[in-house]
Structure 1
């Protein structure tokens, strides 16, 4: 798995899930993770992962990656979308639910987060990773696209316009409110890509630079206002124990 802020949170959650299950392998549901970017490393870490994705091509990539990593038996691929979670896993069926890159593109974010929350067992967790409105504003401005930057800033959903393929972008307060509104206790709210997406590749060629950047990224992930302008925002919400 990655050596970044999101990875650290997920690793800690898997340890906690194993403790809750008396050492049994954690059950993970990855919604919209068809290419296996998160699912395959989680399977390699000892989880049993079900991936639901609407794209057959992405699921084909997932199966190939899982096979190459030697974890094919730990990964189940299902074609579908967030609206069909109840058909894939029962309510309260898994220890950890991932919704990374999902809430920006579904028709109804409130319905989607409620479905993610329902899939988690009592005491389980939901991890969501979303596009950050303010990072997009800064990115457009630095690229000289000032009109787009202003539209992103003013639009209630953080969109450039009707042609924007992203249906909504979030800020820290909005993401926290959405997760809490699904009945989840927000335990983590951090940035992902706080500084790493800003550093030129040439800088990382220097000895020790990559390690220094990783350390800086981890240190900045939780600190506002740096967190609030990260490329992505990450939240972990906890379902109440029974």
Structure 2
């Protein structure tokens, strides 16, 4: 890797690496459970729930995909439109105001080939119901890309900040039934939630295993340090226990057809 690595690269590298395994035409190779290329010339449709100003949507549109971004913030959607226009992909990006509960009404049922749901379940009161509803926009066999906060990293962050009582509450699971924002998910919890919502988990990897622990000044002062850290992030993302210590967990899953029995996931996921 010879190009300059930015802080955003380090924060999002594992997510993009996972997405590359499910996007048609990916250099990483496309597994059997990936987004299936359509029989016509119409590109696959991607829905980005909570996609904000287009950090994922615009690069995907540049690659030729059609992307619908649904976000509650009008300011974020305005920034998305500007960014898409600047990159010459305004015709491939649709901006719609709404939240996760509005998704099917805005996009339509069984419309999307790929659903991005990044850092959204962390801020809803009922993640189980929210995810089950969101999955309705996926065609049967469509792929879910889900990013949630990791429980272990939340405990560590609270402890390192000196908030020991909060760290212990998260560690012991106190306050169960409260919004998920303070706690995050364990790998087992998010796998069970996705399976129950109607999708089969095929991969889970960590996001920002080390990036948040390395001083920013060290990374910014030496591009080679950033490149080495990026390689380390990708190498550790799927390995236990490092995956489970990551700031976020990235889940890839495939929506089951109605009435279809749940399949065993790949890589040992139940």
Is the structural similarity TM-score above 0.5?
A: yes
Gaps of 5+ in 1: none
SS of the residue corresponding to residue 148 of structure 1 reads helix
- The equivalent residue for 2:16 is 7
- The equivalent residue for 2:203 is 188
Q: 2:133 aligns with which of 115, 122, 130?
A: 115
Q: Number of matched residues?
A: 239
C-alpha distance in structure 2 between counterparts of 1:168 and 1:207, whole Å? 34
Q: 1:54 aligns with which of 69, 72, 77?
A: 72
Instruction: Compute the TM-score of the two structures, normalised by the length of structure 2.
Output: 0.81
User: What are the equivalent positions in structure 2 for 1:1-242 lying under 5 Å apart?
Assistant: 4-15=13-24, 16-17=34-35, 19-21=37-39, 24-156=42-174, 166=181, 169-204=184-219, 205-206=221-222, 208-240=224-256
**Would the alpha carbon gap of residues 14 and 21 (structure 1) be closer, same or farther in structure 2, given more than 3 Å must change?**
farther
The CA RMSD over aligned residues, in Å, is 2.3
C-alpha distance in structure 2 between counterparts of 1:193 and 1:200, whole Å? 13
Q: Offset at 1:26?
A: 1.5
**Would the alpha carbon gap of residues 191 and 128 (structure 1) be closer, same or farther in structure 2, given more than 3 Å must change?**
same
Larger mean CA deviation between 11-20 and 176-185 belongs to 11-20
SS of the residue corresponding to residue 122 of structure 2 reads coil
- Asked whether the equivalents of residues 195 and 230 of structure 1 are also in contact (C-alpha less than 8 Å), the reply is yes
Q: Offset at 1:202?
A: 2.9
**Would the alpha carbon gap of residues 138 and 111 (structure 1) be closer, same or farther in structure 2, given more than 3 Å must change?**
same
Q: Offset at 1:222?
A: 0.3
Larger mean CA deviation between 102-111 and 206-215 belongs to 206-215
C-alpha distance in structure 2 between counterparts of 1:183 and 1:207, whole Å? 43
C-alpha distance in structure 1 between counterparts of 2:41 and 2:18, whole Å? 19
SS of the residue corresponding to residue 112 of structure 1 reads helix
1:192-233 Cα offsets, whole Å, 9 max, x none, are 001111111233233521111111000110011111010011
**Would the alpha carbon gap of residues 128 and 21 (structure 1) be closer, same or farther in structure 2, given more than 3 Å must change?**
farther
SS of the residue corresponding to residue 47 of structure 2 reads strand
- Asked whether the equivalents of residues 95 and 125 of structure 1 are also in contact (C-alpha less than 8 Å), the reply is yes
- Asked whether the equivalents of residues 18 and 25 of structure 1 are also in contact (C-alpha less than 8 Å), the reply is no
SS of the residue corresponding to residue 51 of structure 1 reads strand
